[in-house]
Structure 1
Amino acid sequence: MTKIIGIIVAVLATFACSSSDDSGSGAGSTGDFCADLCRKDHACDQSVDLQTCRKSCETSFASAEGKLRADFLTGVSSCYASSDCATILEEGALGSCASETEASLAPSMQGTSFCKKYSAAVDKCGGTFNKTSCLSFAKTTSDPALLDAEACLGKACTSVDACVDATL
């Protein structure tokens, strides 16, 4: 689970220097999110090419499409759009905004249910489970993605984690 959180943070950090929007359009999809990030980056640094930035961002997020909660993407985008250019150019704003937004969200009912079931599956297999990390991850993950991952929990003990990681 920590690996998955790290991947999302890494993907967000990847384009801290090439992302966001002053318009605060409410990025609900990764395409909107990338457009917002890139508009903000371009506003702060005219050398940022909007098309290149957006395509690079969308490529980085291709595997995350539909897996991140819309309210998480919107929150990060809104925070980034309100960041000053000095912070944007220092490349720390995106990670800070992701952390801030995650802290402001609660896991959905599906997220809480998934973590409870995942914990039970790991316990049944004699493993150790960090429920706090799971619930934190569930704050940013969409319900359909969590539901897909829930299908992994009935697999053989040696396959559960790999299936969840591959799904999310």
Structure 2
Amino acid sequence: MINFGGNNAGFQRIAGSPGALSNAIPYVDAADGSVVAFSSSISVNNLPADVYLFRVCFDVINNAAAPLPANFISTITLTTTAVLTGTIIFSIRPTDVGAQPVRISNGAAYVVTPSATVTWTSNIPGNPVTRNDAISVFLNMNVTQNAVYSVYISTSV
């Protein structure tokens, strides 16, 4: 599992790093395998209704402003249809079929919100990673600074 911290739009930080983004300091995969899941915890006030794309990437050129489409392993799409406030959580796997539920808490128990869904797109069939791939997460637009994203990789080691 790789944890990335929220950094608004663009490349996300590897959690615990001293501030470098994952386009400059990526996570290095230690074995062949595949991306098997993605999870998120986002604390935000007034997240606008929109489509947010989280792209799990490999081997992005150091300090690139954005990844090339050839660098996308998987795309996780969070779709919101209303303004959301609170702590938003979701997890998804490439084997999930169709839109998956998103839960939110705003001072009470976490409940499924009808105003958001999440889907998975495999940009490379099987979502493969190879030993020594440089793994990054890129977000197409601002969500919040207060977030943690986890990428789960299953390897043959």
Could you say which TM-score interval applies, normalised by the shorter chain? under 0.3
Q: Structure with the greater relative contact order (CA < 8 A, sep ≥ 6): 1 or 2?
A: 2
Instruction: State the structure with more CA Rg.
Output: 1
Q: Which has the higher strand share?
A: 2
Q: Which has the higher helix share?
A: 1
If the length of structure 2 is used for normalisation, what is the TM-score? 0.27
